Amino acid sequence: ETQPHPIAQQINQDMVRVNGGNFLMGSDSNEAKKTEKPAHIVTLDDFYIAKFEVTQQLFESIMGSSLSYFQSPTIPVNNLSWQQANYFIMKLNQITGETYRLPTEAEWEYAARGGQLSQGYIYSGSDNIEDVAWYTKNAKNRAHPVGMKQPNELGLYDMTGNVGEFVSDAYDDTFYRFSPTDNPNNARDEASGLAHKSVRGSSFSYKANESENYRRDFASQSIIMADMGLRLVRDAK
């Protein structure tokens, strides 16, 4: 068995295996937006997800540099678009021989809620947002180094707040009504007329009542925002 590439070794060391299962995705609460309803059962296979958002250190080790607005090796790469996030993953896979990808929207929410270890928290890892997130009230309008707040049930950091996280799914405001139960993946291309992509996990510029685990937001594939980043996933072999 050949040793993984050193960068892959480093990434895999910080990945958590999420055991698949069923969960209730979305919300039927009065606070939920129409696009976040109805709550519906989803069944997922096992997968691996990174404990941390992709740091500038990791991003720059592959890309040479980043255009991060908030700069520091340990701060998540930020100020990038969905297209740039995918270009990074493509290069990363070329260099390491691995098959990293963005999470699907369902995988992201399942992991944020704690997977099979879920305690049913409002935010990822707590009912008190201060414990787990950099958000409007404590972030001073900037991104912070990864892993400074408490992790969630799976040992994942910054799933709520810090930088928003791109997922693979196109943003379709009616998708929850007809979403398949098993491993839903709405990764449709621009030809389908859905040029927007889903964004999860709120960020340092979101309020507490915009940051619950079920919240969905969206962005065009090419827009660059100072509060956007990404987190890596890979299939469980």
pLDDT in tens, 107-117: 999 999 999 99
5 near 102, Cβ under 8 Å? no
In this predicted model, what pLDDT tens digit does every residue of 19-40 receive, in sequence order? 999 999 999 999 999 999 999 9
pLDDT at 192: 64
pLDDT in tens, 187-229: 866 566 667 999 999 999 999 999 999 999 999 999 999 999 9
The backbone torsions φ and ψ at residue 17, rounded to the nearest 5 degrees and listed phi first, read -80, 125
d(CA 71, CA 77): 8
164's enclosing H/E stretch is strand 164-170
**What is the average pLDDT across 63-69?**
96
Averaged pLDDT for residues 129-152: 98
What residue type is assigned to position 32 of the chain?
Answer: A
What is the Cβ-side half-sphere exposure of residue 58, based on CA atoms within 13 angstroms? 29
In the DSSP assignment, the letter for residue 121 is: -
Helix (H, G, I), strand (E, B) or coil at 40: strand
Question: Which burial class, exposed, middle or buried, applies to 44 when counting CB atoms under 10 A from its CB (0-12, 13-18, 19+)?
Answer: buried
d(Cα 51, Cα 182) in Å, to the nearest integer?
Answer: 24
Looking at residue 85, what is its pLDDT? 97
Is the predicted pLDDT of residue 185 greater than 70, yes or no? yes
Q: What single DSSP character describes residue 101? A: B
Amino acid letter, residue 208: A
Residues 6+ apart with CB under 8 A from 209: 31
Give which of 103, 155, 160, 106 is closest to 128, Cα–Cα. Answer: 160
Distance from chain centroid for Cα 172: 17
